[in-house]
Chains A and B, each alone.
Chain A
């Protein structure tokens, strides 16, 4: 009955329109839309990856072996289960056109390729015809970017290793590309059989062999995987199947999506500040109405229910509009997005992101409205004739507890949806900490303005601005809270991004080598060293034998049991051997073996990684190299500095343990930049099979990826900032009456419109700049922590973007303030003052 009455009163109140609730609605809509949009894109990509799983994989199943082909037994196992099998060799090499050479990722295919999906070429010819070649040379197709780098056109001759090929087509779309374009060398596809005589794929060459299996329809992939793991145990194979065709990309998209949604939550938190402010302003205007209702016999519950229902109706409306916007925009823009995304995506309205966005928003609205609603229910009838009774009171403990409980549910929900409790808790802690810091900063700003005001004498506009910031009823905290969070995230991103770029641009090249050369055969080493030794521009050359292996067991137990999901266990790692401790290496524990040691295998392990994995001296490590398990005892730990991009091996074994295995050498060359081209030309002409990787290219690739991440995060922060701007607009609108009133008094006292405008502008600008300064301090602190502890780079404040943040804060606040300056300036004093009488 009471609820019914409350609902009736609520609906009557809502008849008055949404005027007081525009900012409330805008904050809800924007918060929901941002989260729903990120979620929708994430789900669309996940769906695209799932649907295209087999195509991306190139078959129902892919078995990958590291620089060896399958044995007859292994191949027989595959042939027995698959309708057809395609064998591919995947490796890096140099493509040479005339005097121009470039790194490329070669896919050497068989006749069965592509098993699933279609390769689209330009000109549109079948792969068989393209690879057949012409004029006596076998065919080759390549990515347009590679052709551009080589300055090659269709029909040109391209050298791979020691063999010439004819460029017959460019690759427009490669179906089985799981790396979403990440990779150092653009793709070249040739027939494996045509590589005979090229000098590539020699024993010890770093390559992967990929076996794509087309299984009979309805095959239980999990069962086949189990079968394979048993039958091919110890082969070092890596299994992928169509259930998750592009695990790396899927995981990357999923993690980035989860992170961006958490950034979106910070936007929702800022929106919550606006929601609370809008509701507070609305309820302040309703004080007399509530007092009348209380006089007429409405109890506290009825009053609470009446306004809670109004909030619920409006939040529901906001959520529906936000979902329509957040889901609608990606779906409408899907043709554009699909063309730009490097991965397949199926854009549609997915329920999970919609539910996620709606739940987040509803809970946020509850968190930020319970408090003002609880205060409103305590308005007493005496408020009708005594302003003192209309003052805000502390809500009852049950509402404080309910607010805290809702916060916990919100964080729990975020952890569940994101699937990353640690990241969620850090983000929640970060948001709560940032809001608390900003609220404190707002109060500090008021205090400072109040203290400065008496010192500012004779400057009316500045004095008025400081009075408005430091005096009673000011909006300093609201402005700092609204702008602070978005600006702080932007400041942190700007600082981290620039520091990282600076580290890469200025610091790394000083210490990093010019080139990595791989696939150098043992008999090529003397000639290789001779070319470099006589070059004055070469300051240093380091070379070491290089094999790759997967750590399968530690102390004869599965490696994961000892070290969990440590990155060293993810895939294969470089392994070297040496008789003596290499130059620039330091033993941190244990001892190096005697140079003539020929006993059971021993291994020296990277110290930091060993500590993370819980390894001790004397432990045994089993490494699968070329399908053979080698178990070695750990006899020492070494310092390995991976930050210099120089040569660093996680594992170095004694010579006798590996020297018999087919392998090649890897070399790092430190040379002056001017000499790099000549070195590359001479070495690749003399040794066509070796592959050069230019470190600068690799660094640029990583930089581009980091820039993309920074850009995605910046967009998330921009959404937060936009919400902050809306909240500011709301605060400015709510404040307009007070400012108009003050302006009317000032006009009465003789202030010109220019002076009033100057005062308003100064007030908004100072508040915004202060919010920017606080955000900058928070951003710098965050950036320092990330740079120091996560990126492990030096940190210097980058003042350009930093000042931009302060100026940006001032500008945004100024714009929001000026949007509402017309009223106070144009107002006729008599009307405003009499309206207050």
Chain B
């Protein structure tokens, strides 16, 4: 078997709150391989999103080891983590997190520009076309609907062709019809580009579309079992 693209060993996260130290994640050990689709499920406050943030280097583990593509994230500084995300990791958020002062096209082009790509705007235009937003390139986020914003966020996440795609409740702020369309798009992009997908969801139906599901409860992970993804099956 190939080396895992994501590997956590006894990873823990504790944050200092007003009422003292809060243990968010405890002793997480988990491997995710290339092309995997992994669903993170669990009740609110169980640590799903925090685990996703650890995987993306958006949060630093307070104990244990977190590796992405063989690199130890716990030993990297902010800028090294940023470079790793720029080159290998795409993130989609529940609240979209588009830059409000930039148009849809500029938002999608930004990670490509950061990577020094000369064709950043051509690629961004193509990505927006792929998510059905070719007529919205010059719009600012405030001029787009929630579904449109999430499609821009998706286009932005996949535009640099990341090895790892992290999605934090990507349909959480959308109605069910729009949510379904976004999820279809997410899995379609994942399968087309062969990325590893880790997604956080409350939706059992969405979790079922993943090859593996890990349930979090009180900061601890418990793998439910393996499913054959369409991509893996094909």
B82 touches A751 (CB 8 A): yes
B91 touches A748 (CB 8 A): yes
Q: How far is the CA of A458 from the CA of B82 in the complex (A)?
A: 18
B102 touches A749 (CB 8 A): no
Please give the distance in Å from A262's CB to the nearest CB on chain B.
Answer: 38
Please give the distance in Å from A366's CB to the nearest CB on chain B.
Answer: 33
Give the contact stretch, choosing among B51-59, B214-222, B223-231: B51-59
Residue of B nearest to A460 (CB): B113
Instruction: Write the B108-121 contact mask toward A (1 if CB under 8 angstroms, else 0).
Output: 01110111101011
Please give the distance in Å from A607's CB to the nearest CB on chain B.
Answer: 63
B83 touches A750 (CB 8 A): yes
B62 in the interface (beta carbon within 8 A):
no
Which residues of A808-837 are within 8 A (CB) of B?
828-831, 833-834, 836-837
B94 touches A750 (CB 8 A): no
Choice from A458, A463, A829 contacting B58 with Cβ under 8 Å: A829
> What residues on A are CB-neighbors of B109 within 8 Å?
457
Which residues of A446-475 are within 8 A (CB) of B?
453, 457-460, 463-464, 467-468, 470-474
Known contacts: A473-B100, A474-B101, A834-B49. The answer to whether A747 contacts B120 by CB under 8 A is no
Q: How far is the CA of A468 from the CA of B91 in the complex (A)?
A: 23
Known contacts: A471-B100, A472-B100. The answer to whether A830 contacts B58 by CB under 8 A is yes
Known contacts: A457-B113, A748-B58, A750-B115. The answer to whether A830 contacts B106 by CB under 8 A is no
Known contacts: A750-B85, A833-B93. The answer to whether A472 contacts B140 by CB under 8 A is yes
B161 in the interface (beta carbon within 8 A):
no
Known contacts: A749-B156, A755-B114, A834-B49. The answer to whether A457 contacts B79 by CB under 8 A is no
Q: How far is the CA of A741 from the CA of B95 in the complex (A)?
A: 12
A750 touches B140 (CB 8 A): no
A745 in the interface (beta carbon within 8 A):
yes
A828 touches B58 (CB 8 A): yes
> What residues on A are CB-neighbors of B106 within 8 Å?
453, 463, 467
Interface centre among B50, B79, B94 (most CB of A within 10 A): B79
B129 in the interface (beta carbon within 8 A):
no
Please give the distance in Å from A362's CB to the nearest CB on chain B.
Answer: 37
> What residues on A are CB-neighbors of B94 within 8 Å?
837
Which residues of B76-101 are within 8 A (CB) of A?
78-79, 82-87, 91, 93-95, 97-101
A752 in the interface (beta carbon within 8 A):
yes
Q: How far is the CA of A829 from the CA of B58 in the complex (A)?
A: 6
> What residues on A are CB-neighbors of B156 within 8 Å?
749
Which residues of B181-226 are within 8 A (CB) of A?
none
Please give the distance in Å from B81's CB to the nearest CB on chain A.
Answer: 8
Residue of B nearest to A750 (CB): B86
Q: How far is the CA of A579 from the CA of B229 in the complex (A)?
A: 118
Interface centre among A471, A748, A834 (most CB of B within 10 A): A748
A467 touches B99 (CB 8 A): yes
Please give the distance in Å from A395's CB to the nearest CB on chain B.
Answer: 23
B142 in the interface (beta carbon within 8 A):
yes
Q: How far is the CA of A748 from the CA of B94 in the complex (A)?
A: 14
Q: How far is the CA of A836 from the CA of B113 in the complex (A)?
A: 25
> What residues on B are CB-neighbors of A457 within 8 Å?
109, 113, 120-121
A753 in the interface (beta carbon within 8 A):
yes
Please give the distance in Å from A732's CB to the nearest CB on chain B.
Answer: 16
What 4 A-B pairs have minimum CB-CB distances, sorted nearest first?
A750-B86, A471-B101, A830-B58, A830-B53
Could you pull out 27 A-B pairs where Cβ atoms are within 8 angstroms? Answer: A457-B109, A458-B120, A460-B113, A463-B113, A464-B99, A467-B99, A467-B106, A468-B101, A472-B142, A746-B110, A747-B78, A747-B82, A748-B56, A748-B91, A749-B114, A750-B83, A750-B115, A751-B82, A751-B86, A751-B114, A752-B78, A752-B83, A753-B78, A755-B114, A829-B58, A830-B58, A834-B49
